Amino acid sequence: MVKKISDVCFGIGKILTVISMFAMFGSMILQVVMRYLFDNPLIWPEGLSKVFFIWMSYIAAGLLIRTRGHIIIDLFVNKFPAILANILKYVFSFSMLVLVILFSVYSLKIALNTRASIYELGNISESVIWLSMPTAGFFMIVQMVFIIYEDLYNQFQKTAAERANS
């Protein structure tokens, strides 16, 4: 069940990231064409590409958790015995989960508080930009729960296999 939810969120995140990337590039290409071919630059493509870049970046950060693509410094953890290293790994994972939850909650509060602020595009609220953070936070939470679940499951399987062999 956890894997299925993680897979669905991962798929949605990939789709949103690709859409954001193509929209960002499309708006910039439109700006270049309008500026240099028609000598009539548009006002909004640069601001729109910033919005798509922000969304793409935050959603991709959530996807990297699933693939364990974030930079980690395990030099410190590897200095300890295996049992203590495993405990530290779980402490770090749960700490990261708490931080992502806090990040999501407070960024949602910011997004809700900026509804009245207007972004440079004109009629778009700044909350559209700020909503990228709690959305990405949701993806991060789902993926962190999956990673923790997967690590615990693998540890349990490893322990059960060692007990069976003894």
Model confidence over 47-102: pLDDT tens digits? 888 889 988 988 888 888 888 776 666 667 778 888 888 888 888 889 889 999 99
Point out the least confidently predicted range of 4-8, 66-70, 90-94, 110-114.
66-70
Instruction: Report the alpha-carbon distance of residue 77 to residue 137 in Å, rounded.
Output: 26
Question: How many domains are contained in the chain?
Answer: 1
Q: Mean pLDDT of all residues in the chain?
A: 85
List alpha helices for 114-131, DSSP H: 127-130
Range of the domain at 71: 2-165
For the whole prediction, is pTM greater than 0.95? no
Instruction: Report the alpha-carbon distance of residue 119 to residue 46 in Å, rounded.
Output: 12
3-state helix vs strand vs coil in the chain, percent to 5: 80, 0, 20
